[in-house]
Structure 1
Amino acid sequence: MARLIAILVGLGFTLVVLISFGVDTYTSITEPAPETAEHKFHLEPKAVSFPHDGVFGKWDTAQLQRGYVVYKEVCAACHSMKFVAFRDLADLGYTEPEVQALAAEWQVPGVDPQTGEAVLRAGEPTDYFPSPYPNAVAAAAANNNAIPPDLSLMAKARHGGAEYIYSLLTGYQEPSEELLAEFPEAAPGQGLYHNPYFPNLNLAMAPPLTATGQVSYEDGTEATIPQMAKDVSAFLSWTAEPTKVKRTQTGWPVLGFVLFATILAYLSKKQIWAAVKPAKRKD
């Protein structure tokens, strides 16, 4: 009897689940979800071309160096880059002495060898880029309760990659009248800024690039807002995937070898089985 009751209970539970699933499915088909401000007014990333795009792309080291300058002088005030070491900057065309000098411009956590107390010291090539905040609580307190994300892998973590970063940096604007009329609740609240390229339309990060000449480029390139946005977007593409170009370049010889091996195997098969006649079918 107990076993029969258990079976009936299980069947009843299964029936309820199936009915619930069917009702939800029918409702979703016949009554589409109401359109939200995020769905209607969110914009896809702008179409931007970078030297490293495509199967024949290459890193523009001058652009990457300019992007590093933008990160150091603008983005590093709020965002960490904990998966990138100073020694990695050698891939951008910097010499070993230049990497050492660049690392020394940063202050990283250390320990006083005399007292054992925590101190800040000049960075070394083996150190990783430090966080501007001692912990997540301090980061949230300084940014309207929004913790700035680490930028090491940002170009891989967001749909659109470098194009998304560029669009976000250049996309700050006032909400449109159409948006405010249809979705007044979508107006940015206190401490928020409207950006249609951000999934939620409003974000806590203030526009980081605000004026031409905000940074100084040693190569003489004019530091306009679009130029700075493009340079730092390329730089963050490199930090997220530094071996991208090398992997693509390696792929072509590999594909060539596979093609050659396939042709050789086919010709070998033809040579080996050339003298073998197929058996006749018996009807």
Structure 2
Amino acid sequence: MAEGKRTGWILGNWKMHGLRSDLGEVEAIAAHAASQASRLGDDRVGLCLPFTLIAPAAERLGEKPAILLGGQDCHTQPQGAHTGDVSAVMVKDAGADLVILGHSERRRDHGETSALVRAKQEAALAAGLQCIVCVGETWAEREAGGAERVVLRQLAESLAAGADARNTVIAYEPVWAIGTGHSASPADIAAMHAAIREALAGMGPEREAMAVLYGGSVKPDNAAAIFACEHVDGALVGGASLKAESFTAIIDAWVARRRG
């Protein structure tokens, strides 16, 4: 569980899911977050949507919505001859406040390196976006005993020079615990979050207060146990964020643990 004054975050990542017909789920999630505003306090709820849904979702939610909207990637350049890419400036202009960078699926499917993630964060920060920077190890890396080394190297190499607790959130997503049949135990989660927390503290006070979220197949039935782990400041939720019923249950589990 988050300690001290770090902001807690419950973030959904819709990945390559969702059409305009699904915007009712976004509205329902926002309505629930609004109903829990007094209990959430300074903690934040957000949805990182496909690029095609950011603008229509922002229009549906109107001014001062109860949740933040985000994208799932951005280019390093603000504009140019980059067919099929979307710049951080465009993500911001569409109505987003956040952007996910370095997700394991981007690293795996698109060969993204930590150096590229860092360059993307530089662009995102320049555009005024808050960044969720993802780190995580594969099963092979864990089995070889290199999990902590891999994650901490990614952490050090992925953060832009201007990254601090005001503009950056870390998401630890063990690749081996996402749709593989393996599961991360509370001890696994707590140990890696402690290592990340120690590494951030060693980078100076500007980064020591960064929130560190867990992102390994978080669902309503395991959220409470995950949130009970030390140094966990919330969650980056995948499939369970697609439906208001399951995502709001995770929000409620966070609120219960945080305020209970």
Considering only CA atoms, is the larger Rg found in Structure 1 or Structure 2?
1
TM-score (norm 2): 0.26
TM-score (norm 1): 0.25
Structure with the bigger percentage of strand: 2
